[in-house]
Amino acid sequence: MELLLHLGTFESYTGDAVVVPVFSDGELTPAGEGANRLSGGALARLRGKAFRGTIGEVLPLPLEGAGAPLALVVGLGTRADFGYAQAKQAAALAARRAQQMHLARIGLPPFGAPDGLGPQQAMEAALLGAASGAYRFDRYQKEKGEGPTAISLICGRPDGEAAARAAHSAAAAIAAGVETTRDLINMPPNEKLPEKLVAAVEAMARAEGLDCRTIGHAELEKMGAGGILAVGRGSAHPPAIVVLRHDGGKGPWHGFLGKGMTFDSGGIDLKPAPGMLWMKSDMSGAGTVVGAMRAIHRLNLPGRFIGVLSIAENMTGADAYRPSDVLKMLSGTTVEVSNTDAEGRLVLADGLELLRREKVADITDLATLTGAIVVALGAHRAGLFSNDDAHAQTLISAGEQAAERYWRMPLDPEHKEALKSPTADIKSTGSREGGASTAAEFLHHFAGDTPWVHLDIAGTAFNGESGPLGHGATGFGVETLVRFAQGG
Ligand code: BES
Ligand code: MN
Ligand code: ZN
């Protein structure tokens, strides 16, 4: 899918449809006025009746005398509630409808920019929303979808041209990152075995000119990365850690870390069948870091960012690690394995130690870590845990800018208590109660006093069921990391 820029009026845009944003209250937007005129007044006649302009409404309206034969009139909700999230969501739903209608080329006029949302932000929201709504994953299907292949930002006002150019190039970079992330997560687990996922990341890095180094199995052994090695041992496909670097030349290094379980069977503590379904998405954290690093590099941001991917497959092979095994982690801490299905924290612990050795200023890890966070927060917010209020607030604000929502969860001394082991320094799980927090507390042990945020994205990364934006990977978290990196 291509994101393009059309510098001209919306009447002059030639494509299959123009998206026309309309609020549920007040005057029509300029594009709304245009669509009303070119539809012979149909929009004004339907407004407030068949079309009320609430978020989620999409009304196809034939146009006469415009470059595009069709308007997709899309509701923005009230002016008072309008913001980045609403613009993004409305554009996503319009693009989704365009996909269902097999429209190949769609145009997006400015999505109104009332108080609080600058024109560039409004345009980025519209482009990113539309790109996300138009996404599809059909590489394993003979019959390909026919949804939008080209999405154009339409800017007819000469004084808006600079903002439009900036929005277009930023959105194109971020959308490319999001697409990479969603493709990797949607890929079937037999097609992204650890060595294949590593190769895919290396190929992306090479194509983008992003610095990339892979720590293979032998080197992990030499280093003594006992967490990731144990988790990978039940698989015929050995684990690896990939390190991506973007050096924008300014300031301290910031660390990103992603859980990259290419498939999580649970190991010897095997998951029941329903719980195992969609465990191909258990590399979403790593996939998110890959997409974010790609976008950050394309944006040529001035900061320094290092992305660590802990990649392994949790299987039940003859040499699989067992409950009660004691592991010596890269940091030297010994861990008693209390459940082989709590594998994410083990691979992340070694990644955290690597980042500490890099002396990063702060760490943000992303992981589909616990079922408990899904129960607590559902699919619309990810859990955020942190040992540092300032870093936590920075990530929450970055999330707000990206229209990705987080909810700060507790890390208490009692959670540390739950990880006491009779045999080793700590054990890997506590009881079921507060499971997302004990998992985070386990990571905290390895993050130490480095300012650190842990994002548990188990509920937000992947839709098993078909929601309004379809089945599969959401790309949640990529834009948060980019907004963080932009330092806003
Ligand atoms: N990958 C799972 C967590 C998960 C669950 C992700 C549902 C997405 C949807 C993780 O490795 C896991 O199995 N966690 C266990 C931990 C438990 C054994 C302490 C869980 O949450 O049940
Ligand atoms: Mn697991
Ligand atoms: Zn897992």
Domain coverage including residue 59: 2-156
Final residue of a domain: which of 123, 156, 189?
156
- Return the residue whose CA atom lies nearest to atom 7 of ligand 1: 371
Q: Is residue 169 a part of any domain in this protein?
A: no
Q: Please indicate, yes or no, whether residues 11 and 127 belong to a single structural domain of this protein.
A: yes
**184 closest CA partner among 402, 477, 456, 440:** 477
The rounded distance, in Å, linking the Cα atoms of 428 and 232 is 16
CB 374 near ligand 1, within 6 Å: yes
Q: Check residue 435 and report its DSSP letter.
A: H
Q: Measured from the CB, is residue 338 less than 6 Å from ligand 1?
A: no
Structure tokens at 409: 């969860």
Q: Is the dihedral of CA 352, 358, 364, 365 positive or negative?
A: negative
Whether residues 147 and 207 fall in one domain: no
- Residue 125, number of CB atoms within 10 A of its CB: 26
Q: In this predicted structure, what is the pLDDT of residue 465?
A: 81
Q: Among the atoms of ligand 1, which is closest to the Cα of residue 428? A: 19
Burial of 378 from C-beta contacts in 10 A (0-12 / 13-18 / 19+): exposed
Q: What is the pLDDT of residue 488?
A: 54
DSSP structure class, residue 158: G
Residue 298 belongs to domain with CATH number: 3.40.630.10
Of all ligands present, the nearest one to the C-alpha of 428 is 1
Same domain, 346 and 295: yes
Enzyme catalytic residues: 271, 345
* Residue 62 maps to a domain: yes
Query: Which ligand is closest in space to the CA of residue 431?
Result: 1
CB atoms within 10 A of CB 363: 28
- Residue 453 is inside which H or E element, if any? strand 452-456
Q: Residue 115's pLDDT is what? A: 64
Q: Assess whether 467 and 363 both reside in one domain.
A: yes
pLDDT at 144: 87
Answer yes or no: do 151 and 196 share one domain: no
Together in a domain, 41 and 118: yes
pLDDT at 116: 67
Give the DSSP per-residue string, 350-376. Answer: HHHHHHHHTT-SEEEEEE---HHHHHH
Q: Which of 156, 172, 190 is the last residue of a domain?
A: 156
Is residue 226 located within the same domain as residue 149?
Answer: no
What confidence score (pLDDT) does residue 348 get?
99
Distance CA 185, CA 177 (A): 13
Domain assignment present for 276 = yes
The C-alpha atoms of residue 241 and residue 257 are separated, in whole angstroms, by: 10
434 close to ligand 1 (CB < 6 Angstrom): no
Helices marked H in 155-193 — which ranges?
A: 161-186
Q: What spacing in Å lies between the alpha carbon of 269 and ligand 2's midpoint?
A: 9
Query: Do the domain assignments include residue 413?
Result: yes
Strand 150-155 versus strand 70-75 pairing type: unpaired
Q: Report the C-alpha gap between 481 and 65 in whole angstroms.
A: 43
Whether 172 is covered by a domain: the verdict is no
Separation of CA 462 and ligand 3 centre (Å): 13
Q: Report d(CA 440, CA 436) in Å as an integer.
A: 6
**CA of residue 266 to ligand 1 center, whole Å:** 8
Q: Tens-digit pLDDT profile for the chain (488 aa)? A: 899 999 999 899 999 999 999 999 999 998 999 999 999 999 999 999 999 999 989 999 999 999 999 999 999 999 999 999 999 999 999 999 999 999 999 999 988 766 668 899 999 999 999 999 999 999 999 998 888 999 999 998 888 899 999 999 999 999 999 999 999 999 999 999 999 999 999 999 999 999 999 999 999 999 999 999 999 999 999 999 999 999 999 899 999 999 999 999 999 999 999 999 999 999 999 999 999 999 999 999 999 999 999 999 999 999 999 999 999 999 999 999 999 999 999 999 999 999 999 999 999 999 999 999 999 999 999 999 999 999 999 999 999 999 999 999 999 999 999 999 999 999 999 988 999 999 999 999 999 999 999 999 999 999 988 767 789 999 999 999 999 999 95
Pocket flag, ligand 1, residue 342 (CB < 6 Å): yes
Nearest CA to ligand 1 atom 22: 371
- Nearest-atom index, ligand 1, CA of 435: 19
Q: What is the pTM of this model?
A: 0.98
Residue 453 shares a structural domain with residue 349: yes
Give the whole-angstrom CA distance, residue 151 versus residue 149: 7
Instruction: Report the C-alpha gap between 20 and 90 in whole angstroms.
Output: 10
Please indicate, yes or no, if residue 175 is contained in any of the structural domains.
Answer: no
Tell me, yes or no, whether 251 and 356 share the same domain. Answer: yes
Distance set, CA 95 to CA 100, 257, 347 (Å): 9, 32, 38
Question: Which domain CATH number covers 144?
Answer: 3.40.220.10
Q: How many domains does the chain have?
A: 2
CA of 220 to the centre of ligand 2 (A): 21
Q: Which amino acid type is present at position 287?
A: G
| 463 ligand 1 Cβ < 6 A | no
Do 151 and 256 belong together in one domain? Answer: no
Cα–Cα distances in Å, from 447 out to 112, 221, 283, 345, 395?
Answer: 43, 21, 20, 12, 17
CA distance 242 to 214: 4
In a domain, 430, yes or no: yes
Is residue 214 domain-shared with residue 135, that is, in the same domain? no
Co-location of 130 and 185 in the same domain? no
Name, in order, each residue with C-beta under 8 angstroms of 283's C-beta and a sequence gap of 6 or more: 184, 185, 192, 197, 258, 259, 260, 261, 262, 311
Instruction: Tell me which ligand sits closest to the C-alpha of residue 438.
Output: 1
For residue 323 and ligand 1, the question of a CB distance below 6 A is answered with: no
DSSP alpha helices (H): ranges in 187-315?
A: 194-208, 217-223, 226-232, 273-276, 284-299
- The CA 372 to ligand 2 mean position distance, Å, reads 12
Evaluate: CB of 429 within 6 angstroms of ligand 1. Answer: yes
Residue 163 domain-assigned? no
